[in-house]
Homo-oligomer: A and B are copies of this chain.
Amino acid sequence: MQIIQDNVLCTYYLNHKELKKVFTSEEHPFQIRRYSRNEVVFEEGEDIDGFYIQVSGRTKITTSVITGKALLLRFCSAISFMGDIELVQKVPIQSHVTAVEDTDFIFIDQTYIYNELMKDIAFLQQLLAHATYKLQTCTTASRINLLASVETRFASYLCTVRNGVSFGKEIQTANSMEIASLIGTTTRHLNRIMEKLVFDKVIEKNKKEIIVIEWTKIEELSGGLRYE
C-alpha cells in the first residue's frame, strides 16, 4: 500500500457525485491509499484504523469458514464504503478484502469519523443509504445462497468477474481451487460442472483459461444472481 500525496487527485475523487454532497469543506484531512493488484487490504479479525471509501479499481470481499477456506461474499468497485460495520459496531474486521486490480481508497482516520462525521447529517445519511443497500442485497443473496445450485453459483461468478474485467484484461482467476473455494464447493464438483458446460459447448477450457462461448447461456444459468 502506498499513500498518495496528491491533492488534485483527492479533490477529483471527492468530487464524485455521491461524495461531494457529503464532503463540502475545502480542508480534508483525508489520504489516498493505493493498493496494487492482489494486495490485501483488510485481514479478517484485525482492528480497523479508519474508514475507507473505495474510489477506483476492484476488490474482492471474502470470509473464511470453519474449513479454513475463503468464501466469496462479493466484489466491490467505486463507490464502496468499507469499515462501516466495524466502526459503528466497534468490532474487529469482519471480512477479508483483497484488491483484484489496482485500487484507490480515500482513507479517513477513525478519530475524525468519531469526532466529526458521526455528527454530520449528510455523512450519516450517506452511510445509512449504503448500509441499507448492502442489507437489501445481502438479504437477497442469503436466500439465493440457500437455494442456488453450484452450477448457478458458478455462472454467477463468471458473470460477475466478466463485468468487472476492464477491456483487454484477462479474467482474474482461472484457478479451479480458488474458484471452488469462493463459490463454496469442491474442485471435484466444480470440475464436473465445467466438464458438462464444455460438453454443451457453453464454455471452453484451454490450459489456464476459461473461455465463455455462450454468454447468454451463462447469464441464463446464473438466474440473475450476482456477487456484487
Q: Which residues of chain A have a CB within 8 Å of any CB of chain B?
A: 63, 65, 71, 73, 84-85, 88-89, 91, 94-95, 118-119, 121, 124-125, 127-129, 131-136, 138-139, 141-143, 145-147, 184
- The 3 A-B pairs at the shortest CB distance, nearest first, are namely A142-B142, A124-B124, A145-B146
Per the bound structure, the CA–CA distance linking A143 and B146 in Å amounts to 9
Task: Kindly identify which residue among B71, B84, B121 contacts A146, using a CB–CB cutoff of 8 Å.
Answer: B71
- Majority secondary structure, A binding face: helix
Q: Which residue of B lies closest to A129 (CB)?
A: B88
Taking the nearest CB of chain B, how far is it from the CB of A124, in angstroms? 4
CA distance A125 to B128 in the complex (A): 9
For A128, what are the chain B residues with a Cβ–Cβ distance below 8 Å?
Answer: 84, 88, 124, 127-128, 131
Contact yes or no, A89 B138, CB < 8 A: no
Q: Which of B135, B141, B146, B184 contacts A134 (CB 8 A)?
A: B135
Once bound together, how far apart are the Cα atoms of A33 and B143, in whole Å? 29
Given known A88-B128, A88-B129, A118-B125, contact A142–B138 (CB-CB < 8 A): yes
A143-B73, A147-B184 known; A135+B124 contact, CB < 8 A = no
Q: Which one of B84, B146, B147 lies within 8 Å of A132 (CB-CB)?
A: B84
Look across to chain B and name the residue whose beta carbon is closest to the beta carbon of A135: B135
Residue with the greatest number of chain B CB neighbours at <10 A, chosen from A91, A118, A125, A132: A132
A127-B128, A131-B132, A132-B85 known; A95-B146 Cβ under 8 A: no
Nearest chain B CB to A153 CB, angstrom units: 8
A-B residue pairs in contact (CB < 8 Å), sample of 19: A63-B143, A65-B147, A71-B143, A71-B146, A73-B139, A73-B142, A73-B143, A84-B128, A88-B132, A89-B133, A89-B136, A94-B136, A95-B139, A124-B124, A124-B128, A127-B128, A128-B128, A138-B139, A141-B142
